[in-house]
Structures are given as C-alpha cells and as structure tokens.
Amino acid sequence: MKVGIIRNPVSGGRSARKSWLRARAELENCFGAIEEHETIAGQTARIASGLCDRGFDLIIAVGGDGTIGDVVDGILSSRRPQTSFSFIPSGTGCDFARNFNLPEDPRELVRTIASAPVRQIDSGWLRCEADNGDIVERHFANIASLGVSGNIVRSVNRARRGGVLPGPLRFLIHSVREILRYRPPSVRLIIDGEEVFSGPVTVIAVANGGWFGGGMHVAPSADLADGLFDVAVLGGAPTLGVLGLLRKIYSAGHVSDPLVSFHQARTVEVLPVGEGSALIDADGEAPGRIAARFEIRPSALHLKI
C-alpha cells in the first residue's frame, strides 16, 4: 500500500510533535515506507490532490480540523476521489475526531488505521463568495456554519500562533467575546428548495458530523453516513440568551430550547437580505461569506479508521 502523510507541523504544539514521532515509527512498522509532506497555507488541498493523482492508496492527515478539511477537499477534487483517507488528530479543536471512538495512544491509533476496513461516509460541498469577491467551491468533512461562528473561527485563527491556552478553552473565550460583539444580519434559509426561515440569524450550522467549536455538540443526531445534513438554526436571539445557550451546547442541552430549530437536508441555500452579510466557516477555516449553497455528497469519502 502506497501511503502519503500530510502533517501540520505547528498543530498541537510540542506535545503533538512527540506524539507524532511515536506515530510515525508505528506507521513505518505497519505500512513500510511512507511519503511525508507538511501543510502549506493555501496549498494543502493541492498537495493531497497531487498524491491521489500519483496513485497513492491512502492519504493520512495529521493535524486539526483545518488540515483534515483541506486534505478531504484535495482528495475529492482529484482525478482519483476514491483514494482512501484517514487521520491522526492534533490541533485546536479536533472536532471531526469526536465522531469516532479513537484510542488516545498514537501507536494504537496507527494500528487501528492499519487494520480498519475502508468504509464510505458522506462529505459536504459548498459554494460561497470569498472576501475578495471570487466564487469559492470546496468540500468539507465535518461542519460548515455561518453567523457568529464564522466570526469566532476568524478570531481563533488570528490568535492561534503563540497561543498557550488549550484549544477548547481558547474557543470558549473567543466565543464569548464574539457573541458580545455580534449584530445578527437577516438571511433567507432555503432547504431542499423550500424557504424555512427568514430573519435575523445568530448561527446556522450545516452538519455532517456532530461537533464543532472545540467540543460543542451542536448536532447530536448527525450521522456521517445517512446522506443528509442536520441543520441547526438559532435566529436573532438576545445576547444573554445566546450566552446561556453556549453552555448548553457542549452537552447537547440546546436541543430542547425553543430558540433553536433543527432540519434535515440534502441542499441548503443561505441568501442575504438587504445590506447584511454573514461569515462562513468550514472545518475550522474561513472560505468566505453568504450567499452560499451547501450540498451533501453521499458516500463520497472512502474512510479507513
């Protein structure tokens, strides 16, 4: 088996570096020679596509949600989208990993990857407007969202370098700060061709997996292989109400809150109303803003874990 590694060298700090050295030794023990590449800002998806096009059988992302999302985008945009994908989590959020019961020991995780069968799970695809006005298209593995979550992700990413706080605490601090600053724009939400919401919005989460934001269980019914998004909608709630919900989301206590509604969808469109706009995040990265379209791609990703 021809195995390629794409690793974020700064993800997770010094402890992640030590874990990676143990994992790498086990990868060579299980798979033989491997080809390792480091992530490059704006080029990681291209690196993954290149490995697929060169005939690699398995691409393993080593990093956080941003690295995972970029590698998935590269695989599914390549000439060989059937190339198998796996991951070794490290990083600020690692929310995609929460969808799986993974061993914490890096060597045991590698052995799990080596022995696992390949299974097919869904991925998401989105099209939106970049900050420079260009149209952006990309795949995502876990969750894309918009509203205050887009502001939070940008704030976290700006502060990431040199940060000493653990990832979940960092997300929480930035979440509180951005919620206090946020002014909800008005949007139209169209699900499978039918308008289901129109008005001020705090967050819309288009979920393939269940967690985002460093451990927030925003979509507890999400299933990576059901061919559907779970869409969570929080309208223009008062700031104190949003802060109260923030605490509940970690334990999925928000599902019974009347401020939140849930939908299932194959396609989602979000359109601005008037002058307002909303920022988008996808797998912890910041592709752009609305107007946006999201589509589920059933069984698109060949996962080995």
Q: What is the pLDDT of residues 277-293, one digit of tens each?
A: 999 999 999 999 999 99
**Domain 123-299, CATH:** 2.60.200.40
Contacts of residue 225, defined as CB under 8 A and 6 or more positions apart, other chains included, come to 119, 120, 121, 122, 299
Interval 24-41: pLDDT, tens? 999 999 999 999 999 999
Band (pLDDT 50/70/90 cuts) for residue 163 is low
What local confidence, expressed as pLDDT, does residue 92 receive? 56
- Across the range 140-163, mean pLDDT stands at 89
- Torsion angles phi and psi, residue 164, rounded to 5: -115, -10
pLDDT over 80 (residue 121): yes
Percent of the chain with pLDDT over 90: 88
Contacts of residue 194, defined as CB under 8 A and 6 or more positions apart, other chains included, come to none
Task: List where CATH 3.40.50.10330 sits in the chain.
Answer: 3-116
pLDDT over 80 (residue 268): yes
Which residues partner with 189 through β-bridges? 197, 270
Band (pLDDT 50/70/90 cuts) for residue 232 is very high
Band (pLDDT 50/70/90 cuts) for residue 296 is very high
Interval 2-19: pLDDT, tens? 999 999 998 877 778 889
pLDDT over 70 (residue 164): no
- SS3 at position 243: helix
* Predicted TM-score (pTM) of this structure: 0.95
First-to-last C-alpha distance (Å) of the chain? 15
pLDDT over 80 (residue 239): yes
Question: Hey, how many other C-beta atoms are within 10 angstroms of the C-beta on 169?
Answer: 11
On whether the CB atoms of residues 256 and 173 are closer than 8 A, the answer is no
- Dist. CA 199–CA 82, nearest whole Å: 40
Task: List where CATH 2.60.200.40 sits in the chain.
Answer: 123-299
Band (pLDDT 50/70/90 cuts) for residue 162 is low
What local confidence, expressed as pLDDT, does residue 276 receive? 83
> Which stretches within 203-266 are classed as H helix?
239-249
What local confidence, expressed as pLDDT, does residue 11 receive? 86
DSSP for 170-218 reads HHHHHHHHHHHH--PPEEEEEETTEEEEEEEEEEEEEESSS-BTTTB--
On whether the CB atoms of residues 304 and 116 are closer than 8 A, the answer is yes
Check whether domain 3-116 has CATH 1.10.10.10, yes or no: no
Interval 44-91: pLDDT, tens? 999 999 999 999 999 999 999 999 999 999 999 999 999 999 999 986
- Dist. CA 303–CA 305, nearest whole Å: 6
Contacts of residue 104, defined as CB under 8 A and 6 or more positions apart, other chains included, come to none
What local confidence, expressed as pLDDT, does residue 14 receive? 76
Band (pLDDT 50/70/90 cuts) for residue 205 is very high
> How far are the Cα atoms of 10, 30, 123 from residue 104, in angstroms, in the given order?
19, 18, 25
- Across the range 284-305, mean pLDDT stands at 98
What local confidence, expressed as pLDDT, does residue 158 receive? 85
- Dist. CA 37–CA 51, nearest whole Å: 10
Percent of the chain with pLDDT over 70: 96
pLDDT over 80 (residue 22): yes
